[in-house]
Amino acid sequence: MKFEHTKKIKDIIARDKKVMLTTTRVGIPFIPSRANGDHIYDVSGNEFIDFSSFISVYNIRINDNAHVREAITAQINRLIHASFTDFYAEEPVTFAENLLTMFPKSFGKVFFSNSGTEANEAAIKYSKLFTKRQYTLAFYGAFHGRTQGSLGLTSSMTIHREKFGPFNSTIHVPYAYCYRCPFGKEYPSCGMACVDYIKKYPLKKEVSPKEVASIFIEPVQGEGGYIVPPKEFIQGVREIADDNGILLVADEVQSGYFRTGKFLGMSHFGVEPDIYTMAKAVGGGLPIGVTITKSSLGDVPAGAHSNTFGGNLASIAAAQAMLKYVKSNLRSIEEQAVSKGKTVMNRLNKMKDRYELIGDVRGLGLMIGVEFVKDRKTKEPARKERDEIITESFNNGLVMLPAGESTIRIIPPITISPKKLNEGLDILEAAVAKIDKHGA
């Protein structure tokens, strides 16, 4: 369906610009108004196919889980907020018990917040408390949030950090971005130079490993460009942590909740971290952040970390209902992420044969990135073309988000119908064909 850029849409955006402080807006005039599974409409009745899952939140059906809506309604009719962090409430405890069954047995403690960045803030502080160390190691390209602590770890674009530093207690090291190896090598003959580098340089010349509390890692780098590292990379980082008494924190805010075909992205790598952080999809549309720690790490002193809204009853009701749904549809959700992921990868790889503009296609489950380049030899990022493809697709009814310098992320809800998935891919291909100068 052709997008109709109505006066109503223009007016709302003009009003927004007047009163709202600028955020990240990707440049498409998308004003969603109502949705029910595959059917998403904006304020003017334009219909869309969604390849964004509303920024990785609607992994499972867009506003289409009646039992989630009913659970929220029932809860808010009883009590919306219980001041869980100061008083007590049963619902967050029950949810924590249920959520823990999705994690390896060694994980036994949970902290609730309202967002991904807060889940990471908690993990930064807990790591410092647990280890009595002060430094944190993170990766170039990482995105862990935009509040002052997590921003120190975020390193996907300088605009995020500009004027907010210095960030004294973080050391950044290269991620295994094999398509653009920072060491100019090729996998697998590289011998995991990126893992070696961590041992030889920062941990030898800059900071003693005895002072490093944690290493933060995204199992698949999200905002940084949808980068899937080799297994040996994550395993090598785990080894460095083990050898030096450093805690490994897996940020599953974007990769978690079945996005990669498993509940935890980390499970693909055969690695168990010490702390997990999650948010986005956990609340089925309501805000919730979760920090999950290994029982062996112990507890934290009362008052050392807390908040007002953590364990908010409405968010917990949504998260609990969503968890109940996924637990009773576990096999189907995992299979759908894997099989639809294959459909997308096959189609994108075929497109790559046809269009020079596509430099790389990579993904795990239904967490897929297409990187656009001006020239396959020089790999010069085709940022402008990437943005044009997003706009052209939007004008034909497909919502997508960028990632990294010139990547588009393909993250439809895992429950998207095969028909809509293929229609979306058709729209994307038509847009690539239009923007690509040398294609078939």
Ligand X SMILES: Cc1ncc(COP(=O)(O)O)c(C=O)c1O
Residues binding ligand X (CB under 6 A): 115-117, 120, 143-145, 218, 222-223, 251, 253-254, 279
Which contiguous run of DSSP H or E holds residue 114?
Answer: none
Picking from 124, 367, 115, 399, the residue whose alpha carbon sits closest to that of residue 222 is 367
| Alpha helix positions (H), 48-89 | 53-56, 66-78
3-state secondary structure of 75: helix
Residue 301 DSSP label: -
CB-nearest residue to ligand X: 116
Shortest separation between residue 55's beta carbon and ligand X, angstroms: 7
Two tokens at 158?
């300088």
Instruction: Name 212's bridge partners.
Output: 135
Whether the link from the prior residue into 166 is cis, omega within 30° of 0, is yes
Other residues' Cβ atoms within 10 Å of the Cβ of residue 19: 6
Give yes or no for a cis peptide into 229 (omega within 30° of 0): no
Shortest Å distance, C-beta 7 to ligand X: 32
Shortest Cβ distance from residue 227 to ligand X (Å)? 12
Which is closer to ligand X, CB of 136 or CB of 254? Answer: 254
Minimum CB distance to ligand X smaller for 144 or for 238: 144
Complex with ligand X: residue 209 or 285, whichever CB lies closer: 285
Cβ closest to ligand X, residue 253 vs residue 319 = 253
User: CB 295 → ligand X: shortest distance, Å?
Assistant: 24
| Angle, helices 330-354/313-328, rounded to nearest 10 degrees | 80
Nearest to 318 by CA among 55, 34, 99, 35: 99
- Pick the closer one to ligand X by CB: 213 or 403: 403
| Residue 273 CB, nearest approach to ligand X (Å) | 14
- Compare residues 232 and 251 and give the one whose CB is closer to ligand X: 251
CB of 438 to ligand X, least distance (A): 33
How many whole angstroms separate alpha carbon 276 and alpha carbon 216?
A: 10
Kindly tell me which of 54 and 107 has the beta carbon lying closer to ligand X: 54
Give which of 218, 228, 224 is closest to 276, Cα–Cα.
218
Name the residue nearer to ligand X (CB basis): 373 or 411: 411
Q: Which is nearer to ligand X, 3 or 309 (CB)?
A: 309
Q: List all residues 6 or more positions away from 75 whose beta carbon is below 8 Å from its beta carbon.
A: 91, 313, 314, 316, 317
Q: Are 362 and 179 in contact (CB under 8 A)?
A: yes
Compute the least distance from the CB of residue 313 to ligand X, in Å: 20
Helix, strand, coil percentages in the chain from 3-state DSSP, rounded to 5:
40, 20, 40
Angle at the Cα of 236 from the Cα atoms of 234 and 238, rounded to 5 degrees: 70
CB of 21 to ligand X, least distance (A): 16
CB of 146 to ligand X, least distance (A): 7
